[in-house]
Amino acid sequence: MIEKTNNIAANQSRNPIFELKNVTKKFGSVLSLKNINLTVYPGERVALVGSSGAGKSTLINLLNGTMNPTTGEVWVWGQNLASLKSASVRQIQRQIGTIYQQLHLVDNLQVIHNVNAGHLGRWSLWQAAFSLMFPLEVNTATRALSQVGIVEKLYQRCDRLSGGQQQRVAIARVLVQDPAVILADEPIASLDPERSREIIELLCQLNAELNKTLVTSLHEWEVARKYYQRIIGLQDGRVLFDYPAKLVTSEMVDGLYKAN
């Protein structure tokens, strides 16, 4: 049986959060990941770097349990996800917040409703429905939006926000969820350099100040080297290198991209 959430939190300082053991993932005949072995510990700030098609998004989806490996095992907080019942997997997933490249915001709803989606894992159906008419947890949403710097957008429709502001709404939604881990899949892919810097600095601030473990997929290896502690280089679904950021050289990264 899965440990309760408070026990999960208590064990974070001692045990790895993620362990991938000989993981391979195929989509039909297409190989996305092959023989992946890696471990992520609490509080780490890890960047997944590689070109499009390297397997970064697939790896993110394996970590959060929305995909299952074709072969191999994904362990989260010492438990093999494949051996757990659906309810137990969902309980683990409540401790893992994911920021997707597509953001998954409802454009015609106000910011507060999109931020409140972070509560859906613990709200009842009636609470979720009621909140669409009369928003619940307004103070919690306000606090999260204040943390990401757009508290004045609380009642603005999401489709009237800039790309950078929408990215901040997605981060605020994760803050409301209050997970132990934040997974960010290409969070700056569609942003200009200044907005990109702001978003990465915000994510790293959450890692440092709130002790959220952070795993981020990126194309920009210079960003990874500047802001992250550890860089995992993916190429054609394989881990080409896994080093502390300060040890990753431009020659290593050139090799990562040249073959693609």
pLDDT band at 152 (very low <50, low <70, confident <90, very high): very high
Q: What percent of the chain has pLDDT over 70?
A: 94
Mean pLDDT over 94-115 rounds to 89
Distance of alpha carbon 88 from alpha carbon 85, whole angstroms: 5
76 pLDDT above the threshold of 90: yes
pLDDT in tens, 155-172: 999 999 988 889 889 889
Residue identified by tokens 């990753």 is: 248
Q: Contacts for 218-223 with beta carbons within 8 Å, 24 or more apart?
A: 218/47, 218/48, 218/49, 218/186, 218/188, 219/49, 219/50, 219/51, 219/52, 219/186, 219/189, 220/188, 220/196, 221/49, 221/248, 221/253, 221/256, 223/47, 223/188, 223/196
pLDDT in tens, 29-63: 899 999 999 999 999 999 999 988 889 999 999 99
Mean pLDDT over 132-154 rounds to 87
pLDDT in tens, 177-191: 889 999 999 888 877
8 pLDDT above the threshold of 50: no
- Between 103 and 167, residue with greater pLDDT: 167
Identify the CA nearest to 92 among candidates 182, 19, 2, 25.
Answer: 2
**Helix, strand, or coil (residue 139):** helix
109 pLDDT above the threshold of 60: yes
**Helix, strand, or coil (residue 245):** helix
Identify the CA nearest to 172 among candidates 220, 219, 138.
Answer: 138
Quote the pLDDT of residue 10.
43
- Between 135 and 231, residue with greater pLDDT: 231
Beta carbons within 8 Å of 172's beta carbon, 6+ residues apart: 111, 115, 118, 141, 144, 145, 147, 148, 150
pTM of the model: 0.86
